[in-house]
């Protein structure tokens, strides 16, 4: 399991009862959007994630609807296992990524 996958799992496992959408995961992990889409797709194919469209009136909200992700029981187990195997490496990546990414990708 790569460090990026661990980060995404950690982002979603932080509060398992809460669904997260793409930008939240980007902000939490410090990864770029182009990186998280393949990871989310892979995790969803593996049955570790489930996702659904937000139910919102787009014109009232003034933005397009979001796609929300949530860990499945299998994903929660995997995230817990990942957190115990390499928690230090994952936490070290975040500030360093924030420094090298332009456009305030981390902020």
Partner 1 sequence: MRLLRGLLALAALILPPAHRPRWREEALALLAEVRGVRRWWFALDTVVKVPVLARQFREPVPPPGRWLSVLTGLGLLGASGAIALAVLAPAGLPEDAAEFLFLMAPCAMVGVVAVRSFWTARSYGGGPLAYLIALLISVFAGTGPVAAGALSVATGFHAIAVAGAFLPGLWLITVSGAALLRRTSPPALALMGVLCGIGLLGVLLGLQLWPASPLNGLSVILLVPAWTVWSVWTAARLIRARPQQRLV
Per CB under 8 A, does 26 bind partner 1? yes
- The nearer residue to partner 1, 41 or 86, going by C-beta atoms, is 41
Per CB under 8 A, does 2 bind partner 1? no
**Both tokens of residue 82?**
């990942």
Per CB under 8 A, does 41 bind partner 1? yes
Give the residue from 92, 50, 57, 42 showing the smallest Cα distance to 71: 50
- The nearer residue to partner 1, 41 or 81, going by C-beta atoms, is 41
Per CB under 8 A, does 28 bind partner 1? no
**Both tokens of residue 74?**
């299998």
Cβ neighbors of 65 (< 8 A, separation 6 or more) are: 53, 54, 55, 56, 58
- The nearer residue to partner 1, 53 or 87, going by C-beta atoms, is 53
């Amino acid at each position: 399991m790569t460090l990026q996958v661990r980060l995404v799992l950690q982002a979603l496992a932080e509060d398992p009862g809460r669904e997260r959408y793409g930008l939240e995961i980007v902000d939490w992990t410090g990864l770029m959007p182009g990186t998280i889409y393949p990871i989310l797709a892979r995790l969803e194919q593996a049955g570790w994630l489930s996702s659904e469209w937000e139910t919102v009136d787009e014109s009232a909200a003034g933005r397009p609807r979001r796609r929300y992700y949530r860990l499945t029981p299998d994903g929660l187990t995997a995230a817990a296992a990942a957190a115990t195997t390499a928690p230090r490496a994952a936490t070290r990546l975040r500030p360093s990524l924030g420094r090298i990414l332009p456009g305030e990708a981390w902020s």
